[in-house]
Amino acid sequence: MKHLFLLFCSILFTASFAQKSEDLIPRDAVTVFSINNFTLLQKVSLDDLVKYEFMAEVQSELFDGSTSGKTLKDAGIDFDQKMNIFYGRGKEYEISGFTFGIKNKADLFQVFDDFQLADSKIPGTETYTSFFNSLIIKGNSALLIRVEPLAERVNELTDSIWYANGNESPWADAYEGMEEDLKEESEKEVLQEEIYDEMPEATQPKTEDEFPVAEENPLQKNYYEMRDSVEMVLQIGFLDAICKDLFVSNLNLKAVDSRFAEQLTHPSEAIFFLDNSRNLQQSKKIWYLETMFPTLYTDLKELYTGNVLLGDLLLNNNSIEFKMESRYGEKLGSIYEKLNHSKFDKKVLNYIHKDNTAYFTYNINLREAYEQAFKVIMPILTNEKNTQMSTSVLALDLLNEFINKDALFGTYKGSMFGTFNGIKKVKTTKIEFTYDDETFEYQEKEVKAEEDMPIFTLGFSTERNDIPLKVLQHLSRLTSRFQNKGTYWVFENAILNAAPLYMIANEGLFIFTNDQDLAENHVNGYGKEALAKKDAAKAAKSGSMYANINLAQAIDRFPRDFFTPKQNEILDAMRGKTGSMELTSSKTTKEKTSFDLLYSYGGTYDNAGKYLLDLMNSLYIISK
């Protein structure tokens, strides 16, 4: 009995401490998608899965012909564990990959058939490799990872070794005599081919595409060979360090970031984690700040500390809900809080037609945010003891004193709205050729034509309509393209050099639109044809941001030419889906702002997993 009890305890102990897939996410991961309700994806074919950008970019070459006709269910994956997709960029390397549970290793290697068993340096783990990818299995969980040393670091080390060995610049030959050659070329206009033909083959110059010639001594490496070696050594070193962290020290993202650990406990279908503060620190552009203004860099880092975006994806009966929480530190939070301390301008609702396809309202208080930002950021800038920075601080201080802030923030308070009403025919002209029957000589004739154009309206709240009107009056003296039509202004051929832009200044709003009907017939708003009270109330109640899209209409009406082929692919994937998408936001506090994106779809759906992946992919692309 005693032995049985001991055995039971040891099994329980092992099970409790066995690493699950979420325990294998490296702490360097900055962005993580974690799918909890993985069973949803059982029906998704692997071929479809690898087409998504978030998968394709991670490890697309892993999935070659071996995935053909197979679903995730056939891949030996354990659907009771979470699947976590991660990406991260540090100071020295970039990581990407995913972690998952394993149910049947034999099935798994039917799909991961390119992987070869390698020596494992960590006891209790199995390592498989394929090109630059490593698959590390511990118990029933696996980590598929690619570690790529940053090019700058590789170059820096290679250069250092190269020059320390007494070598000259690897590009010295390329530049040698270049000036002379250029001079000669401009003097004698003789085709290079002619010279080459006359030269003996051995002395003919090398072509651009020629590979560097290997040295006679195989131990003597040329620059590129040395660079490859450096890269490989770094890669192995970084991977070893990551594995030691994960499998020996149990240092993973979940262990080091309580926010992520807490997020993982949510009973949602999937969770999302993006550490913005680390994104800022690792940004390529920040190095200048770090080098030139170290104090400022430290202070800014502090300002951004705690800046994370956390998300939950919930799959309901007829909707998918994405709840996001933007968290930040106290100082940054104080600016956001002031920025969002604004009363909703109900007048904008009168300019949103009830049948519109998509609209948004954005409600902020720029004046208060400016004052708070000045209070928070100026001491940080002043702290930096540097001539350049001191001059900038002085300039900012003087501008703050001299600028008429009442006029500036009275003209643009920060609140705005926008609508998209799909595509309408707009009147343009075209040139036609008319042919004379006698001679077939032709003449050009301008005739009226119609073209499709997306119809939009963008307006902002203002206390000083007189200021933009002043600008328009002056512009109308300069060109006849600006015309005062009494209740509105028109700027001819402003949009794509073909269609007019209308401007309406009314009731504390200044509106830009290419909707002729709005300008000519509804300068005071749509009245009874405006947004329904129920919808208007939702927009008014939301925090700083509200958006509503009639998905079926919007996607069908989106002008394809304005998007890249990849974006069009995503839109195509969304086509045929009915329902609406609504974005609401909470009141902003010093700690956080919450956003809720609700995608309600009508009717039934065949494959919830596909919906989930479509949405996740869109989020991935947006967050990249």
Residues that bind other proteins (CB under 8 A): 426, 428-431, 433, 435, 437-440, 442, 444, 449, 451-453, 495-499, 559-562, 564-565
Sequence-distant (≥ 6) Cβ neighbours of residue 42 within 8 angstroms: 71, 72, 73, 79, 609
Spatial separation of the C-alpha atoms in residues 416 and 366, rounded to whole Å: 12
Cβ closer to other proteins: 194 or 401? 194
Task: Tell me the C-alpha distance between 133 and 117, whole Å.
Answer: 12
Nearest residue (CB) to other proteins, 216 versus 437: 437
The beta-carbon contacts of 12-17 under 8 Å, at least 24 apart in sequence, are: none
CA-closest candidate to residue 592, choices 372, 415, 332: 332
Closest approach of Cβ 189 to other proteins, in Å?
Answer: 13
State the nearest-atom distance from the C-beta of 441 to other proteins, in Å: 8
Nearest distance in Å: CB 430, other proteins: 4
User: Minimal distance in Å, beta carbon 356 to other proteins?
Assistant: 21
Nearer to other proteins, 389 or 423 (CB): 423
495 or 571: CB nearest other proteins: 495
Measured from the CB atom, the residue of 428 and 600 that comes closer to other proteins is 428
| Cβ nearer to other proteins, comparing 201 with 441 | 441
Lookup: tokens for 585: 């936001």
How far apart CA 409 and CA 415 sit, in angstroms, is: 11
Q: Which is nearer to other proteins, 198 or 561 (CB)?
A: 561
Nearer to other proteins, 399 or 447 (CB): 447
Nearer to other proteins, 124 or 559 (CB): 559
User: What is the three-class DSSP state of 209?
Assistant: coil
- State in Å, rounded, how far the first CA of the chain is from the last one: 57
Shortest reach from residue 528's CB to other proteins, in Å? 33
SS (H, E, C) 43-60: HCEHHHHCCCHHHHHHHH
Nearest by Cα to 349 from 508, 515, 540, 542? 540
**What is the closest distance, in whole angstroms, from the C-beta atom of residue 185 to other proteins in the complex?**
17
Give me the least distance between CB of 512 and other proteins, in Å please.
17
**Comparison of 17 and 433: residue with beta carbon closer to other proteins:** 433
Q: Specify which residues 580 forms β-bridges with.
A: 550, 600
Type of residue at 484? N
Shorter beta-carbon distance to other proteins: residue 452 or 466: 452
Find out whether 348 and 509 touch, Cβ atoms under 8 Å.
yes
Q: How far is the CB of 553 from other proteins (least distance, A)?
A: 18
How does DSSP classify residue 527? G
User: What are the b/e assignments for 578-595, b being 16+ CB within 10 Å?
Assistant: ebbbbbbbbebeeebbbb
CB of 454 to other proteins, least distance (A): 9
Instruction: Find the shortest distance in angstroms from Cβ 444 to other proteins.
Output: 8
SS3 assignment for 210-278:
CCCCCCCCCCCCCHHHHHHHHHHHHHHHHHHHHHHHHHHCCCCHHHHCHHHHHHHCCCCCEEEEEEHHH
Contacts of 571 (CB under 8 A, 6+ apart): 555, 558, 560, 563
Please identify, using beta-carbon distances, which residue of 163 and 435 lies nearer to other proteins.
435
Residues 352 and 415: their CA atoms lie apart, in Å, by: 15
Question: What is the 8-class DSSP label of residue 437?
Answer: T
CA distances from 272 to 239, 511, 616 (A): 24, 37, 9
CB of 497 to other proteins, least distance (A): 5
CB of 439 to other proteins, least distance (A): 6
DSSP letter (8 states) at residue 494: E
Nearer to other proteins, 561 or 606 (CB): 561
Q: In Å, how far from its chain's centre is CA 223?
A: 36
AA identity, residue 286: I
Which of the 8 DSSP states describes residue 71? B
Pairing between β-strand 592-600 and β-strand 580-585 as defined by DSSP bridges: antiparallel
Q: Which residue has the tokens 């009966």?
A: 317
Distance of closest approach, residue 440 Cβ to other proteins, in angstroms: 4
The encoded tokens of residue 196 equal 């080459």
